[in-house]
Amino acid sequence: MFLILLIASTFTQGLTIVSHGNSFITAFPENLAYFYPFTSSIILTVTALHEDTSFTVYFNNTQRTIPNLQRGATTKVMFPKTAEVHQLNFSTNSIRITSTKNVVVQSFSQTGTGTILEKSVQTSVVQPITNLGTDYLIPPLKQLDLIQTFGGSPAPFSSQRYSSFKLIIINAEDTENNITIVKNISGSVQEENFTIPSYQLIQLQANASLFKVKSNHKVAVILTHPCLEMTACKCNMIVNQILPTEFHGQNFVVPYIPGITQSRLLMTSNERSTSLSHSNVQLQPSSSGLLSLSFQTKSQYVNASGNVSLKLISPGLFVEVIPENMFAACYLLQVYSDVKNALVIAETGSKTNVHNQNSPVTNAAWTEITGTKYSSAIIPLTEQYTFIWHPSSKIAVYILENIGTTVYGGPAIPINDQPDELGCVVIPGQFEVKNEPLNWTESLAHCTSLQSQLACLTKEDIQMELANMINTTEDEEAWIGLRRSLMTTDWYWQRTPSTTPLPSSSVDYIHWADGQPLDKSKGLCASLSLDREDAFKWKSAKCCEKKRPVCYKPPTVLTALTSGVTQNIS
């Protein structure tokens, strides 16, 4: 889930703000296993974004392939309790997933039955390997101070097992990986090196001294605590996949989470001098290093002097705050408990255009966030699987669930970064110049026969997209869907033969070459230059001329989500 311009386009490979991919690696941290060994579930959910997707799960030297998923189908993969990483040091308990087409993966751990006090639940988005890195900054965690900051007291069973956060470092590649962890112990910087075999992992104790992880090859880094003791014998598991430094940001809308009365910010940055401000007032750290928020009961905008990662911390809750430059257009949400909400941050001017699946959200109570162009709202969720999107601007979406009085959750899964009025895009629209020279009418029919349309460049954005996508230098013209009415001589766009021509619809955006269009006797159709030196400008032409058509395949959007079968891995 993230950046100013690292990824302007969904077509680029590599790091993206979206969390789908075809290769994933993760591990299940220990969740109170010691006390409740028999009442747990540990699950990975895999949601297919494309038709006919298969995926394979690799665990404990076995592999299982789940074939033929439909777009939007979610498969629950259940793992045995033994999959949990419950000891320090090296382990082979990593889980890998590869798929034939892009999927998203979320992990879910729950332990405890009976009284809700014993329950501990966490969900976490599993990042695709494309979003992993080799440099990670570890947040400074002082467990005792942290508990005391929130008025709690340390666990009565202060065994080493529960006295610190742990860090799981997973080698994401099929090769030996040299890892260096960097500690600053009382001002002296020390390094420790480990070599992790292919796809294996190491679990370490983390404290405020351990501040950096570096590696030769990509690693996944998970920060975890099996039972963060807070108050009244209540604890909750923490799972937080740390994102590489490329995902840091400077501006954040810190969400207000209803029901949470004390929350603070944990900031991680490369520079010790980095500060965080709200309305130009610097936020001050407590002894635990946590920063105090200006308001406890409303969402607020904060601004760092450099790139940082921010986590919102409250007893039992550990939420990654989505930087503004990583807001996205569409998010997938998977929920598990009965009390489930989405917290959405959207631009105030277009907030009523936030959609939940196929309809605009109409019943949300929006609150403006002071000093920003944003508003936030809590949207109750009724479905276990849903997607929330915006047709024209980027938004941030968090999932919040309750068990008893404990709130858990975090960012939803971003699946598309660029807004599109058609919906939640999983395959972007594609322009393609076909090979056969045809007349204009035949071109229209030809594109249609390919489940495509003759290209209609109705906005500058679309013209730019075409220019970027085809980027040719051919000294040639190609047909687009622009023509003029025989009667009125007005220009209009026509995509397909079946569409009723709309000569009344005005052509607002134009990109004619100099001196174009010629008068109607010299041509009723329009073509586009295939030469980028000519800026892909348009010319009028006779419709009977043979030119190659520029076809446009509209984007594929998510329409429905379904629950697939549950698979047990033993």
- By CB under 6 A, is residue 27 in contact with ligand NAG? no
End-to-end CA distance of the chain: 31
Cα atoms found within 13 Å of the Cα of residue 8, Cβ hemisphere only: 6
Q: Cβ closer to ligand NAG: 471 or 505?
A: 471
**Shortest approach of ligand NAG to residue 337 CB, angstroms?**
27
- By CB under 6 A, is residue 439 in contact with ligand NAG? yes
- By CB under 6 A, is residue 538 in contact with ligand NAG? no
> Which position among 185, 445, 450, 535 is part of the footprint of ligand NAG (CB under 6 A)?
185
- By CB under 6 A, is residue 151 in contact with ligand NAG? no
- By CB under 6 A, is residue 209 in contact with ligand NAG? yes
Q: How far is it, in rounded angstroms, from Cα 566 to Cα 45?
A: 9
**Shortest approach of ligand NAG to residue 459 CB, angstroms?**
17
Residue for token digits 């975090």? 410
Report the 10 Å Cβ neighbour count for 503: 17
Among 50, 125, 8, which Cα is nearest to 425's? 50
- By CB under 6 A, is residue 303 in contact with ligand NAG? yes
- By CB under 6 A, is residue 191 in contact with ligand NAG? yes
- By CB under 6 A, is residue 148 in contact with ligand NAG? no
> Which position among 127, 307, 406, 494 is part of the footprint of ligand NAG (CB under 6 A)?
307
**Chain center to CA of 260:** 25
Q: How far is it, in rounded angstroms, from Cα 3 to Cα 14?
A: 13
Give the pair of three-digit tokens for residue 238.
Answer: 């923490």
Site stretch for ligand NAG (CB under 6 A), options 129-137, 182-190, 285-293, 448-456: 182-190
Nearest-5° Cα angle at 82, 77 to 83: 50
Position 95, amino acid? I
**Shortest approach of ligand NAG to residue 420 CB, angstroms?**
20
Which helix (H) or strand (E) segment holds residue 326: the answer is: none
Alpha helix (H) residue ranges in 408-522: 440-449, 460-470
> Which position among 48, 95, 105, 208 is part of the footprint of ligand NAG (CB under 6 A)?
208
Site stretch for ligand NAG (CB under 6 A), options 12-20, 106-114, 181-189, 348-356: 181-189
Residue for token digits 């039972």? 227
Give the pair of three-digit tokens for residue 128.
Answer: 């695709």
* DSSP summary character for residue 478: E
**Which 355-384 residues touch ligand NAG, going by CB under 6 A?**
none
> Which position among 294, 305, 485, 516 is part of the footprint of ligand NAG (CB under 6 A)?
305
Give the pair of three-digit tokens for residue 424.
Answer: 């939640």
Largest pairwise CA distance in the chain: 91
- By CB under 6 A, is residue 12 in contact with ligand NAG? no
- By CB under 6 A, is residue 58 in contact with ligand NAG? no
> Which position among 442, 476, 531, 534 is part of the footprint of ligand NAG (CB under 6 A)?
442
Q: Cβ closer to ligand NAG: 93 or 463?
A: 93
Q: How far is it, in rounded angstroms, from Cα 521 to Cα 540?
A: 10
> Which position among 117, 339, 507, 543 is part of the footprint of ligand NAG (CB under 6 A)?
543
Q: How far is it, in rounded angstroms, from Cα 383 to Cα 265?
A: 31
549 near 446, Cβ under 8 Å? yes
Q: Cβ closer to ligand NAG: 1 or 557?
A: 1
- By CB under 6 A, is residue 306 in contact with ligand NAG? yes
**Shortest approach of ligand NAG to residue 218 CB, angstroms?**
13
Burial tier of 394 (Cβ tally within 10 Å: 0-12, 13-18, 19+): buried
Residue for token digits 């014998």? 233
Site stretch for ligand NAG (CB under 6 A), options 39-47, 179-187, 225-233, 285-293: 179-187
Contact characters 464-493, ligand NAG, x per CB under 6 A? ----x--x----------------------
Its sign, for the CA torsion 447, 450, 456, 457, is: negative
Burial tier of 297 (Cβ tally within 10 Å: 0-12, 13-18, 19+): exposed
- By CB under 6 A, is residue 231 in contact with ligand NAG? no
The residues that touch ligand NAG, with contacts defined as CB under 6 A, are: 3-4, 60, 80, 82-83, 89-90, 93, 178, 180, 184-187, 189, 191, 193, 195, 207-209, 216, 246, 272, 277, 303, 305-307, 439-442, 468, 471, 543-544
